Amino acid sequence: MAHVVVVLGAAGRTGRLVVERALARGMSVRALARSRDRLGALAERVSVIEGDATDPRALAQAMTGATVVVQAISMPSIFDSGLHTRAMPLIVAAMREAGIRRYVGLTSTMAALAGDHASPLTRAMLAIGGVAVRGYVADKRAEVDALASADLDWTLVRVGGELRDGPDGAVRADPHRLAMRSATRAAVATFIVKVIEEESFVREGPVVTGP
């Protein structure tokens, strides 16, 4: 089946790479972005819906007839919390209305899942981070909670450390072992498209780190 992929945050630094890789694999892409101009030349290769993930009208338009939703929304700052808390109920509702079951979300290791384990050092680092950015952690929790209570085939791609620029390449993906190693945006985007193609890590949260 040829996938029709809705990319939320398509104009972001990682979202654009997801769009490019999905197109390269023969998928049709609906790009949700605040402005068509932000997509540059990519706008000519995709169906652009102007709006954001808190706009029910734009979500409904983007998801009609689609098969997969990818959430690659860039947050301006870890201190700018609340986006997922506001957006996830709307995203889930729009997916249900459109009959879409597959959701692949880009997030961080702050999105804790049952069965997670980590080294003492990693646990300490996550605990310190959780205190420093409580709002951010609560916002990540909102995405997990919304998916857990929905009958969806979700995958949360959790980046173990900083998302950085750099070349594509292999990544490590472990469903439960938390780590604080970074990965490149290009490699993570490739991994997201691979997860879609292979229908892998369903109802799991692979922790993705660079080699």
Per domain, the residue ranges of the chain are: 4-209
For the segment 31-56, the average pLDDT, to the nearest whole number, is 95
List Cα–Cα distances, 23 to 31, 38, 148, 157, in angstroms: 11, 18, 30, 20
Architecture of domain 4-209: 3-Layer(aba) Sandwich (3.40)
CB 2 within 8 A of CB 27: yes
Predicted local confidence at residue 180, as pLDDT:
77
Is the pLDDT at 46 greater than 90? The verdict is yes
Higher pLDDT, 126 or 62: 62
CB 162 within 8 A of CB 182: yes
Confidence band (pLDDT; 50, 70, 90) for 108? confident
Length of the chain: 211
Q: Which of 58-62, 88-92, 120-124, 194-198 has the lowest mean pLDDT?
A: 120-124
For the segment 180-206, the average pLDDT, to the nearest whole number, is 94
Nearest Cα residue to 114 out of 207, 205, 23, 8: 205
For the segment 195-209, the average pLDDT, to the nearest whole number, is 95
Highest mean pLDDT among 36-50, 148-162, 166-180: 36-50
Predicted local confidence at residue 210, as pLDDT:
86
Is the pLDDT at 18 greater than 90? The verdict is yes
Residue 114 is given by DSSP the state T
Say what the pTM is: 0.92
Predicted local confidence at residue 123, as pLDDT:
72
